[in-house]
Amino acid sequence: MNDVMSVLIVDDHPLLREGVAAVLEAEPDIQVVGEAADGQDAIAQFKRLRPDVVLMDLQMPGVDGVEAIREIRAQAPDARIIVLTTYAGDVRALSALRAGASGYLLKSSLRRELIDTIRAVLGGQRYLHPEVAHDIAVNAIAEPLSEREIDVLKRVANGAANKEIARALSLSEDTVKGHMRSIFSKLDVTDRTQAVTVAHRRGIIAL
């Protein structure tokens, strides 16, 4: 491990980047070598800077965080990437981990947790925020929604009625109702609002 760890911060909010940079620069063994505002910029800057650690937001315009992680790991399989996000959802977290993230932190994490995670990940360890780890454990045996069910639920989230969804997807209204019953069962909810809320919290759909 180098005496000074280089870090690239990726987030589409300038103030968030500034805040994280200020926290990291207070550490004598950490240097922020770059900032990126979206996934495409992150991929380009990683290639140019080759930082020891990347702090990666997930929800960004254009290329999102999961795709950026995948691309960076394709060009550098040993890249150390820590997700720093607002969302604790288990589905979103698993997508990031499968793409190659070594850590998953929430933006509500304490300063000390952020610093410790950077050092742990650079040392070859993995780290999951306790809330994220709990959500993954709780939902580990839950049956996942099918692609069609996710498509239906996205349209529900946009306010579409069953009849509109049926027309858009070239399905019968009874088929859409069947999908909704399945969605309710899998998410353990009783109405459309709850279904959208739970699916968003878990990272199944984005609002």
Tens digits of per-residue pLDDT, 87-109?
888 999 999 999 999 999 999 98
What domains appear along the chain, each with residue ranges and CATH number?
Answer: 5-138 (3.40.50.2300), 147-202 (1.10.10.10)
- Cα separation, 75 vs 142, whole angstroms: 34
Tens digits of per-residue pLDDT, 11-35?
999 999 999 999 999 999 999 999 9
The residues, ordered by sequence, that sit 6+ positions from 2 with a Cβ below 8 Å of its Cβ are 52
Residues 102, 76 contacting (CB under 8 angstroms): no
**HEC readout, the chain:** CCCCEEEEEECCCHHHHHHHHHHHHCCCCEEEEEEECCHHHHHHHHHHHCCCEEEECCCCCCCCHHHHHHHHHHHCCCCEEEEEECCCCHHHHHHHHHHCCCEEEECCCCHHHHHHHHHHHHCCCCEECHHHHHHHHHCCCCCCCCHHHHHHHHHHHCCCCHHHHHHHHCCCHHHHHHHHHHHHHHHCCCCHHHHHHHHHHHCCCCC
Give the Å distances, CA to CA, from 32 to 10, 52, 56, 102, 187: 11, 10, 13, 19, 41
Which residue reads 């109702």 in tokens?
177
Q: How confident is the model at residue 1 (pLDDT cuts 50, 70, 90)?
A: very low
- Cα separation, 34 vs 123, whole angstroms: 21
Q: Which of 13, 42, 8 is nearest to 107 (CA)?
A: 13
Tens digits of per-residue pLDDT, 125-179?
999 999 999 889 888 888 999 999 999 999 999 999 999 999 999 999 999 999 9
Average pLDDT, integer, range 68-80: 97
